[in-house]
């Protein structure tokens, strides 16, 4: 007899290949697919889950061949990761070529591998050997992609934590830690030369957890709030994530790379935590991710780059029960390992466009640094002489983009049909 689980995935398959998926496709949204668990769904079922959500981008933390095989011909864009412990070996160009030939080439282009993250949060690892290996490994891997004719399809970068910033508040004060300047300069030069984005793992949750009495919960959750105004640029922010991203943009500008694209490689909110992990609740996790997804459906940019949609990868798809650390580390998932929802994200509500996009003010004021992004064949320059104008990044607000509508009114009908089918098949022997 057909099992409930078999029927469950039959229903998901039917929905995701019909026109009645749970939410419209969001171009700038991805989900991190971690695998540190002992009871996760097999990759084939994960693909069904992602397809039912209309998610077109995902990131994994290795090059798991089962996942790379399962995602073939799915159309889902995939970022893979070189594990930190492999960086020293892959500094060698011959080893890098063998790695790409074994882990990338056999699956491409059937599996749409679009990026390789060389390590994760290397600059804040406190391992000097690992940090010094990063750029040479990236150069070797990119060189291997060039040799195999894959460099125009696959970008090479590395995700950093927000800890690379010495200052992030206000956003216009964004600067990198001074002891990273040498390595960061090499890293940014590589990204610039290969036209790769800067990936940042940004978690407003951590800021709130560390200082819940001074930081507004509504501000970090994207809820309506008065927000904050950068005292130098007079730019208004109504949420912390955008402020964090713009702080990174200012830090890049101070290094001479003011026009480099920034993407959020991780952001999320835990649904459960230890007693001292303030704010880690089901309700807050649902609100944060729901509001974030709504903004992504509107293709919003940050106040400094309102016309450039911000690409964001939500962390994470699953709760991973084998992750070490505090309770929160095992409870970032939108789903439990068996594919059931960790909490109701209210996806149907996301078809309504947000009425509160980030707003900004363009009143000039004195600022400690005037950042100029003059177009040329070299990286954008930074001028540190005092000026009476804010950073010369576009400060015009963007119009809210309308999300595509889908056949939600018919979704109930199709669910009824499938449930009726379930009642019939459960009564028949197989």
Please identify every residue annotated as catalytic. Answer: 121, 266
d(CA 106, CA 93): 19
Q: Are 158 and 135 in contact (CB under 8 A)?
A: no
Q: Is 339 left (phi over 0), alpha (psi -120 to 50) or beta?
A: left
Q: Shortest CA distance to 404 belongs to which of 346, 344, 350?
A: 350
CB count in 10 Å sphere of residue 419: 11
Q: Are 394 and 406 in contact (CB under 8 A)?
A: no
d(CA 425, CA 206): 48
- Reading the block at residue 35, the tokens are 């695998």
What three-state secondary structure class fits 44? helix
Q: Which residues pair with 263 in a beta bridge?
A: 199
- Reading the block at residue 133, the tokens are 């290996």
Distances (CA, A) of 105 to 102, 195, 256, 411: 7, 21, 34, 40
Sole residue written with tokens 């177009």 = 375
How would you class 305 by CB atoms within 10 Å of its CB: exposed for 0-12, middle for 13-18, buried for 19 or more?
buried
Q: Are 78 and 113 in contact (CB under 8 A)?
A: yes
d(CA 202, CA 310): 13
d(CA 23, CA 300): 17
d(CA 233, CA 229): 8
| Rg over CA atoms, the chain | 22
d(CA 368, CA 173): 9
d(CA 192, CA 185): 10
Q: Are strands 262-267 and 198-201 parallel, antiparallel or unpaired?
A: parallel
d(CA 259, CA 251): 11
Strands (E), 308-424: 312-314, 370-371, 382-383
């Amino acid at each position: 007899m057909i099992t409930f689980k078999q029927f469950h995935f039959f229903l998901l398959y039917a929905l995701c290949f019909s026109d009645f998926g749970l939410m419209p496709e969001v171009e700038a949204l991805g989900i991190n697919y971690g695998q540190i668990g002992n009871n996760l769904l097999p990759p084939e079922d994960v693909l069904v889950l992602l397809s039912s959500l209309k998610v077109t981008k995902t990131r994994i933390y290795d090059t798991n061949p089962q996942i790379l095989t399962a995602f073939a011909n799915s159309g889902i864009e995939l970022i893979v990761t070189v594990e930190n412990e492999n960086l020293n070996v892959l500094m060698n160009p011959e080893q890098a070529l063998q790695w790409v030939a074994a882990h990338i080439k056999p699956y491409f282009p059937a599996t749409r591998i679009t990026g390789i993250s060389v390590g994760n949060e290397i600059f804040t690892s406190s391992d000097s050997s690992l940090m010094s290996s990063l750029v040479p490994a990236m150069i070797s891997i990119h060189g291997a992609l060039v040799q195999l004719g894959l460099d125009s399809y696959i970008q090479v970068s590395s995700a950093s934590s927000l800890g690379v910033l010495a200052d992030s508040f206000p956003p216009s004060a964004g600067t990198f830690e001074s002891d990273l300047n040498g390595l960061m300069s090499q890293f940014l030069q590589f990204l610039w030369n290969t036209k790769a984005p800067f990936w940042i793992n940004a978690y407003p949750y951590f800021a709130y957890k560390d200082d819940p009495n001074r930081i507004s919960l509504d501000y970090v959750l994207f809820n309506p709030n008065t927000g904050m105004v950068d005292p130098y640029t007079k730019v208004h922010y109504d949420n912390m994530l955008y402020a964090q991203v713009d702080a990174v943009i200012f830090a890049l500008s101070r290094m001479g790379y003011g026009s480099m694209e920034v993407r959020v490689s991780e952001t999320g909110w835990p649904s459960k935590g230890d007693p001292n992990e303030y704010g880690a609740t089901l309700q807050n996790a649902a609100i944060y991710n729901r509001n974030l997804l709504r903004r992504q459906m509107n293709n919003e940019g940050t106040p400094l780059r309102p016309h450039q949609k911000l690409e964001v990868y939500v962390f994470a798809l699953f709760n991973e029960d084998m992750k070490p650390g505090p309770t929160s580390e095992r409870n970032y998932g939108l789903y439990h390992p068996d594919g059931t929802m960790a909490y109701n994200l209210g996806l149907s509500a996301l078809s309504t466009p947000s009425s509160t996009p980030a707003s900004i003010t363009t009143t000039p004021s004195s600022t400690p640094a005037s950042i100029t992004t003059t177009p040329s064949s070299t990286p954008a320059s930074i001028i540190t002489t005092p000026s009476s104008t804010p950073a010369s990044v576009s400060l015009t607000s963007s119009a809210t983009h309308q999300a595509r509508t889908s056949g939600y009114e018919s979704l109930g009908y199709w669910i009824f049909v499938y449930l009726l089918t379930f009642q019939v098949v459960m009564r028949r022997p197989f």
